[in-house]
Chains A and B, each alone.
Chain A
Amino acid sequence: MKIHKYDTVIVGAGGAGMRAAIEATKRSRTAVLTKLYPTRSHTGAAQGGMAAALANVEEDNWEWHTFDTIKGGDYLVDQDAAEILAKEAIDAVLDLEKMGLPFGRTPKGEIDQRRFGGHSRNHGEAPVRRACYSGDRTGHMILQTLYQNCIKEGVEFFNEFYVLDQLIVEVDGVKRSAGVVAYELATGEIHVFQAKSVIYASGGTGKFFKVTSNAHTLTGDGQAACYRRGLPLEDMEFFQFHPTGIWRMGILLTEGARGEGGILRNKDGERFMEKYAPVMKDLASRDVVSRAIYTEIREGRGCGPEGDHVFLDLTHLPPEQLDAKLPDITEFARTYLGIEPYTDPIPIQPTAHYAMGGIPTNVEGEVLADNTTVVPGLYAAGEVACVSVHGANRLGTNSLLDINVFGRRSGIAAAEYSAKADFVELPENPAELVQEQVERLRNSTGNERVAELRKELQETMDANVMVFRTEQTIKTAVEKIGELRARYKNVSVQDKGKRFNTDLLEAIELGNLLDLAEVMAVSALARKESRGGHYREDFPNRDDVNFMRHTMAYREVTADGQDSVRLDYKPVVQTRYQPMERKY
C-alpha cells in the first residue's frame, strides 16, 4: 500500500473532472485519479451541442434559458442553480473557445448555434438556436480541448487508477473527507490519497440498463463510494431515456439530427410528434418524445416485423447538410446497421442515457451530508452530482454545459478550501475496506458469474423501471435486485492475477451497479406521481402537493450487517417560476 498526499484530488477525468482540474491545478497541488485514460471518458460521446444564450444567430437571453431548464426539469429543478447554469453558460462557451475549441462558425466568423429539444424563444413560443456545436462531435471536441489544456497547465494524472472508497472521518461531530482509496489497475496495488479536498467527477450509472447509450465503464463508482459511507443520493429515480438510440444497440443518435430538421415517423410514415407536442413537435423534451415513441409502439404503430421501433427520417435533408452537420451519426448508421441515411430512415428506440440524480451538492459543488449540512472538503460535479439543475428531466445540451459550469466552480471552490484547510488525519488502516473487498473477490470460490448477474440486472431494469413504470413493475425490480444482491455475495472471478485484472474490476463495478439500482428502484417506488423522466402509469399526473420535493436516499445498516435504503425528502428551491402544466 502506498500513501500519497495532495491538496486536491479529483476522481474522474471526463469533462467535469478536467474542467475542475484546470482550475484546481492553478491554485493547489492537484492529482486527478481516473479509471480510464482521460480521452476515453464518455464526455467524448456527446454529440449535439452545449447550450448558451449567446444570441449569435437570433434573439436569445439567459433568462429564457433558465425558464426552459426549469420547465424541462418539470419544476423539480432548484431554480437558483438553474439561473447560475444559464447565466454562466455564456462565459463557459467563450472560455472553451479561448482554450481552442473548434466550434462551428457563422458566415461572420462567430460561434454558430442550432436548435435543440426543449430550448425555446420567450418561454415556449418557438424553438430557438441556442446549442453551440462542433459538427456532431461537440463532446469529443470538449474532451479533447480540456485534455489539451490540462497538458498545458501541467495537470498531474494517475491513469487507470480506480477509486474504490471515500474516507470519511468524524471530527468534533462533523463528517469530513480525509481522502480516497484507489486500486491501480496495472499492478493491483492499493493507494491511499490523503487530500484536503476531493472532487467526484466520475460520471453516470447507465450500465444498469441493457439498451443504453452509456459506455461499459459507466458504473456509478463515485455515487456508490459515497453512498456506502453514509452519504445520501438525491433524486435517483429520475433517469433520462434519450429518444433516438440505434435500435437494439442503444448507440446515441444526437437530438441535433432533429435540430437539423430530422423527423420521427411511425410505420405509417406519420410524423407522430405533431400529436403529442403541437408547437415543439420533434423537438419536445426528451421524456415527452420517449414516451410518445413507446406509446406509438404499444398501440401497434411501431416499425419492423416486431413493431418494436420507429424511424428517424433524415432523407429529406440534403446530403451536404448531413455530411457537414451530422457526419458521425450518419456513419454510425452505415457501420452498425448497413443503412444509408441519405435514402433510408434509421430504426431507433429510446435508450437509457443520463442520470439526473446523484450526489447532492450546493451550487459551489460542496457535497451535502443531509438536506443542509456540507461535508467540508468534499465536492462533486457533472453527471455524478445532483445540484439540481436538471430536476426530473435534463434538456439536451445542458449536460455539456453542466460539466463546464459546475466543473469550474467545484475546481475553484475545492482548491480555495485546500488553501485554508488542514489535512484530516487518516483513519487507522485506511485501506482496510478496499483490501477486504479486493481479496474477497479475488479468492472467492463462489459459483455466481459477474456477466450473468449483470445481464439479469440489466434485463430487469429494462423491463421494469424504464420509460413506463407501475407499482407492480417497480416491486418486481426491487425484489429481483434484492435477489441479485444476495447472489452477488457468491460471485467469483476467474482471473486471480494482479496485473490489469479487468475481471476483478468488472466484479467491483457490478457491486456498485447493484447498490445503485436498488436505490433507484426504491426511490421510484415511493414517488407516486409522474414527473419528467419518472412516469408512473398508476399515477399519471404530477402531484405538486405531495411530491414537489427531492428524494434523499440513505444507506442504513442494522447491527447484524443487513443494509437497506432509507428515504427522506428535501424541498425544491423556487425563486421566480411557479409550477405550470408542461406543454410543448
Chain B
Amino acid sequence: MATPVLDKVEAEAAASPYITATFRIRRFNPEISDEATWEDFQVEIDPKERVLDALHKIKWELDGSLTFRRSCAHGICGSDAMRINGKNRLACKTLIKDINPEKPITVEAIKGLTVLKDLVVDMEPFFQAYRDVMPFLVTEGNEPTRERLQSPEDRERFDDTTKCILCAACTSSCPVFWNDGQYFGPAAIVNAHRFIFDSRDEAGEQRLEILNDRDGVWRCRTTFNCTDACPRGIEVTKAIQEVKRALITRRF
C-alpha cells in the first residue's frame, strides 16, 4: 500500500464522525395496546448514513420488535415510504445529515392508510386504486410480428410517469386522500397518465372516464404535496393537470 501510515491514522480520525441522534418513533402494536405511542431511541451513527440504517440499528441492537418494510435499500423497490420529520420520504433515500439530527427525528407511518403495526400500513386500498385505472397496455387488432414502432419523441412524452415505484409517498401526502380514502390519489393517476399518453395504447378514453368519476382527478386541489413527496422526482401534479386537460380537450 503506497499510503503512509500517518495519513491513514489522520484519515481515520477525520472519518470518525459518529453522532448521537434521537429517533422519536410512532409505535403501534395492537397485540399489546390499542393506543399508539411515541418512543425515543438514541442511536450512535454516522450522519452520512440513511434513516433506514438507523432503523436497522434500532431493530438489530435495541428493540427487535420495531417493525417496518424495506427491501432494496436504495430507493427503487418502494417499500419504506414513511413520514420523517413530518414529510413523506423513503427511509433509504434520506440521509440523516439532511434532516437536522441535532433535534429528535420523528418517524411515523404514512398517513391515510390503516396502520397495522409500527411503520407498516395496509397497502391494499392503495393497490386497489392502481388496479382500477387499468394500468396495462391495451391495443386492438392484430399484433405486429416485430415491435410496435414508437418515435423517441412519443416515447419521451410519458417517460416521467414510468418512473413510479408505487411507494405511496405521494398518495399518502395528499390532504384530499387523508380526508376521503375513496379518492384515487396521485399514484393511480400517475399510472393512468403513463398509459393515456403512450402512443401505442388505445384505452385512453376508458381511463379518462374512470378518472372523470366523482372520486377521480377533479378532487385534486393542486397542493403540490405529491410532487414534493415523490422520491423519484416525478412531476406528479403536472401529470394530474395533463390528465385533467385531456379530459376537457379529449386530446392526448
Q: Select the residue from B32, B60, B72 with max chain A CB neighbours within 10 A.
A: B72
Give per-residue flags for A129-149: 1 if the beta carbon is below 8 A from chain B beta carbons, else 0: 000001101001100100011
* Contact of B131 with A by CB under 8 A: yes
CB closest residue in chain A, given B7: A305
* Contact of A107 with B by CB under 8 A: yes
Which stretch in A70-78, A94-102, A176-184, A428-436 binds the other chain?
Answer: A94-102
Residues of B within 8 A of A98 (CB): 137, 139, 143, 147-148
* Contact of B189 with A by CB under 8 A: no
* Contact of B73 with A by CB under 8 A: yes
Residues of B within 8 A of A307 (CB): 1-3
CB closest residue in chain B, given A35: B71
* Contact of B26 with A by CB under 8 A: no
* Contact of A463 with B by CB under 8 A: no
* Contact of A499 with B by CB under 8 A: yes
* Contact of A152 with B by CB under 8 A: yes
Residues of B within 8 A of A40 (CB): 69, 71-72, 77-79
Known: A94-B146, A144-B162, A498-B31. A300 touches B198 (CB 8 A): no
* Contact of A229 with B by CB under 8 A: no
Residues of B within 8 A of A503 (CB): 59, 64-65, 67
* Contact of A423 with B by CB under 8 A: no
- Contact between A42 and B150, CB atoms less than 8 A apart: no
Which stretch in B115-123, B208-216, B244-252 binds the other chain?
Answer: B115-123
Residues of A within 8 A of B175 (CB): none
Known: A39-B77, A100-B136, A498-B31. A216 touches B64 (CB 8 A): no
Known: A151-B136, A305-B7, A500-B117. A105 touches B71 (CB 8 A): no
* Contact of A21 with B by CB under 8 A: no
CB distance from B123 to the nearest CB of A (A): 7
Residues of B within 8 A of A (CB-CB), count: 65
A562 to B3, CA, bound (A): 48
Known: A109-B149, A141-B162, A495-B65. A215 touches B72 (CB 8 A): yes
Residues from 123 to 154 in B contacting A, C-beta threshold 8 Å: 123, 127, 131, 135-137, 139, 143, 146-152, 154
Residues of A within 8 A of B48 (CB): 338
How many contacts between A and B, using CB within 8 angstroms? 165
* Contact of A460 with B by CB under 8 A: no
* Contact of A457 with B by CB under 8 A: no
- Contact between B155 and A104, CB atoms less than 8 A apart: yes
Residues of B within 8 A of A267 (CB): 2
CB closest residue in chain A, given B163: A137
Grouping DSSP codes into helix (H, G, I), strand (E, B) and loop, the A interface class, with mixed when no group exceeds half, is loop
- Contact between B70 and A216, CB atoms less than 8 A apart: yes
Give per-residue flags for A413-431: 1 if the beta carbon is below 8 A from chain B beta carbons, else 0: 0000000000000000000
A110 to B8, CA, bound (A): 53
* Contact of B166 with A by CB under 8 A: yes
* Contact of A269 with B by CB under 8 A: no
With beta carbons under 8 angstroms apart, the residue of A37, A45, A151 that contacts B131 is A151
A338 to B154, CA, bound (A): 34
* Contact of A108 with B by CB under 8 A: yes
Residues from 19 to 49 in A contacting B, C-beta threshold 8 Å: 36-37, 39-42, 44-45
Known: A45-B74, A105-B155, A217-B71. A497 touches B165 (CB 8 A): no
CB distance from A267 to the nearest CB of B (A): 8
* Contact of B158 with A by CB under 8 A: yes
CB distance from B157 to the nearest CB of A (A): 10
CB distance from A122 to the nearest CB of B (A): 24
Residues of B within 8 A of A137 (CB): 76, 163
CB closest residue in chain A, given B68: A502
Give per-residue flags for B1-14: 1 if the beta carbon is below 8 A from chain A beta carbons, else 0: 11100011001000
- Contact between A44 and B72, CB atoms less than 8 A apart: yes
A135 to B152, CA, bound (A): 12
* Contact of B75 with A by CB under 8 A: yes
* Contact of B29 with A by CB under 8 A: yes
CB distance from B217 to the nearest CB of A (A): 20
- Contact between A140 and B165, CB atoms less than 8 A apart: yes
- Contact between A306 and B72, CB atoms less than 8 A apart: no
With beta carbons under 8 angstroms apart, the residue of A111, A331, A501 that contacts B147 is A111
- Contact between A105 and B200, CB atoms less than 8 A apart: no
- Contact between A39 and B166, CB atoms less than 8 A apart: yes
* Contact of B40 with A by CB under 8 A: no
- Contact between A300 and B2, CB atoms less than 8 A apart: yes
* Contact of A186 with B by CB under 8 A: yes
Residues of B within 8 A of A149 (CB): 136
CB closest residue in chain B, given A502: B67
Residues from 32 to 75 in B contacting A, C-beta threshold 8 Å: 32, 48, 59-61, 63-65, 67-75
Known: A335-B75, A494-B63. A300 touches B1 (CB 8 A): yes
- Contact between B95 and A335, CB atoms less than 8 A apart: yes
- Contact between A216 and B73, CB atoms less than 8 A apart: yes
CB closest residue in chain A, given B152: A105
Residues of B within 8 A of A104 (CB): 152, 155
* Contact of B17 with A by CB under 8 A: no
A137 to B72, CA, bound (A): 14
CB distance from B116 to the nearest CB of A (A): 6
A575 to B62, CA, bound (A): 57
* Contact of A342 with B by CB under 8 A: no
* Contact of B219 with A by CB under 8 A: no
- Contact between B3 and A306, CB atoms less than 8 A apart: yes
* Contact of A478 with B by CB under 8 A: no
A335 to B76, CA, bound (A): 13
Give per-residue flags for A331-342: 1 if the beta carbon is below 8 A from chain B beta carbons, else 0: 110011010000
Residues of B within 8 A of A97 (CB): 147-148
- Contact between B136 and A306, CB atoms less than 8 A apart: no
- Contact between A497 and B29, CB atoms less than 8 A apart: yes
- Contact between A99 and B137, CB atoms less than 8 A apart: yes
Residues of A within 8 A of B2 (CB): 267, 300-301, 307
- Contact between A140 and B76, CB atoms less than 8 A apart: yes
With beta carbons under 8 angstroms apart, the residue of B32, B64, B75 that contacts A493 is B64
A97 to B151, CA, bound (A): 14
A100 to B155, CA, bound (A): 11
- Contact between A305 and B165, CB atoms less than 8 A apart: no
Residues of B within 8 A of A501 (CB): 67
Residues from 196 to 228 in A contacting B, C-beta threshold 8 Å: 215-217
- Contact between A451 and B162, CB atoms less than 8 A apart: no
CB closest residue in chain A, given B131: A151
A106 to B146, CA, bound (A): 14
With beta carbons under 8 angstroms apart, the residue of B31, B75, B79, B131 that contacts A499 is B31
Which 10 pairs, one residue from A and one from B, show the smallest C-beta to C-beta distance? A100-B137, A494-B64, A451-B60, A109-B149, A305-B11, A495-B65, A503-B64, A148-B136, A152-B136, A300-B2
> Mind listing 7 A-B residue pairs with CB under 8 Å?
A41-B71, A42-B71, A105-B152, A215-B73, A493-B64, A494-B64, A497-B29
Given contacts A103-B155, A215-B72, A216-B71, 7 further A-B contacts (CB under 8 A): A40-B78, A44-B77, A44-B165, A99-B137, A110-B147, A306-B1, A307-B3
